[in-house]
Each structure stands twice: as structure tokens, then as C-alpha cells.
Amino acid sequence: EVRVIAGYVEGLARDDLVALAGKAREKKKPLVLMKVGASAAGARASLAHTGNLVGNDAAYAAAFRQFGIVRPQSVDELLDFSHVLAISPLPRGTGAGIITISGGAGILMADWCEASGLDVVPLAADTVNRLKPVLPWFATPANPLDTTGRPLWDAGMLEQAITAVAADPGVNIVLVYVGLAPGPAVRIANEILAGARAAQGKPVLVCWLPENEASAHASLRQASLPVFTEPVRMV
């Protein structure tokens, strides 16, 4: 029943780390380990706390990269990474497709994608052609895709946008920013669900600010779509 293995680590012998990483990879279960004691003060505290000599942090960082171990920097990240990896498909690459009803949020998310190792890839020509008749005339079919606020009253537009971007061969992860949608919340949720079903196994994450229609958020979570209330946290 276990989908992801998460933990807090002060010290771990090299052989134990290699064995753990190999077994997790064999079972296709992601490892999310918050390794502490990177600083001199933290290392001294670890020695006093559990008697662990934490070792050279650069060596741990290199080993984590080599074995594909996710290293969160906070308890919030530990829980967020574990949650997403437990309920979403694993991405097959680092190409991120951003769909947003807010141009400003799209820029913010693009900045953090680059900082986080995700590639905001240019959309393929077929995707651009598919999006042109969907978008209003003043919107640009690009990545990030700013749909403007039109999906709030134009039924079907958000579903078509998600479906088109998810089908792009360069996109491995779809990030959807809704913002506030208190009126058409249930319809918007249904469109996101339809788009996610058409994503052919690519993970779809949603950022939706808190609003009055709690059932809309609940319907996404029940369908194993991670929902966040802050765009940087989603990235």
C-alpha cells in the first residue's frame, strides 16, 4: 500500500543509503528525505541529539542527486512532496506547462520553475494551432499560457486549454492556476477534471485560492489532483 517513503535523517551510513535507494528504485517508490545537519551548528546539535556524526553535506547532496532522492528543505516541503508523489503519476521529464488566468501569477510560476529545475518549454507548433481558436484574440498561445479571466464565463475554454497543453510532447507536468472563481467553481473544477483525464498519465497540479465553494476543491482532491493555495508552493 506504500506509494512513497518519507523521512527525517540526521546521519546515514553510505552503504545503508545505497541499499535503501536501490531497494526503493527497484520497487518504484520515491524517497523524500529531509537531511539535516548541513551547518556546523546543526552538525554539533545532531551529535548531541542522537550521537550522529552527520558527515560532509556536499557528499550527501551528491548522493541524493545520484539516486534521485528528493530533499525537502522544510517540514512543509516534506509533506507537500510526499503528498504529490503519493497521489500523482510520476513525471517522465522536467518540461512544465503553465496555464493561468493571471498573467502575473504565470510570470511568478515561470521564475520558480526555472529556480526549481523545471523547464518552461516552448509549445509545439501543433499545440499553438490548437490553442488559437480557443483563446480570445488578444491572448498569446505561449508557455506560460495566460488564458486571461475568460474561463470564468466561457464554458469549456479551460478544459480545452489543459487538454491541448497536456498533449504537447515537450510538456511532462501541467500546472494550473485558477485564482479566485467563487461563482463558476463547480464548473471550473469539472473542466479541470476533464482536462486531467485527457492528460494521458501526466501529473496535473492545481493552485486555487481559498473561496466559498469547498466542494469544488474536494472534488479535485478526491480525483487525486493535488490542490495548493499558493503558486510558488505548487511549483
For the ranges 12-16, 100-104, 112-116, 175-179, the lowest mean pLDDT is seen at 12-16
pLDDT at residue 166 greater than cutoff 90:
yes
Q: How confident is the model at residue 53 (pLDDT cuts 50, 70, 90)?
A: low
The pLDDT value given to residue 111: 97
The pLDDT value given to residue 172: 98
- φ/ψ region of 96 (left if φ > 0, alpha if ψ in -120 to 50, else beta) reads beta
Residues 22-51: tens digit of each pLDDT: 999 999 999 999 988 766 676 666 555 655
Output the nine-digit C-alpha cell for 196.
Answer: 486531467
Which residue in this structure is represented by grid cell 465553494? 213
Residues 178-200: tens digit of each pLDDT: 988 778 889 999 999 999 999 98
Evaluate whether 191 touches 162 at the Cβ level (below 8 Å). yes
Whole-Å CA distances, 87 to 2, 4, 90, 159: 11, 9, 9, 21
Whole-structure pTM over 0.75, yes or no? yes
SS (H, E, C) the chain: CCCCEEEEECCCCHHHHHHHHHHHHHCCCCEEEEECCCCHHHHHHHHHHHCCCCCCHHHHHHHHHHHCCECCCCHHHHHHHHHHHHHCCCCCCCEEEEEECCHHHHHHHHHHHHHHCCEECCCCHHHHHHHCCCCCCCCCCCCCEECCCHHHCCCCHHHHHHHHHHHCCCCCEEEEEEECCCCCHHHHHHHHHHHHHCCCCCCEEEEECCCCCHHHHHHHHHCCCCEECCHHHHC
The pLDDT value given to residue 98: 98
Which residue in this structure is represented by grid cell 493561468? 100
The pLDDT value given to residue 48: 58
Residues 105-127: tens digit of each pLDDT: 999 999 999 999 999 999 999 99
The pLDDT value given to residue 60: 83
For the ranges 64-73, 76-85, 213-222, the lowest mean pLDDT is seen at 213-222
The pLDDT value given to residue 157: 94
Residues 200-220: tens digit of each pLDDT: 899 999 999 877 678 888 899
The pLDDT value given to residue 179: 84
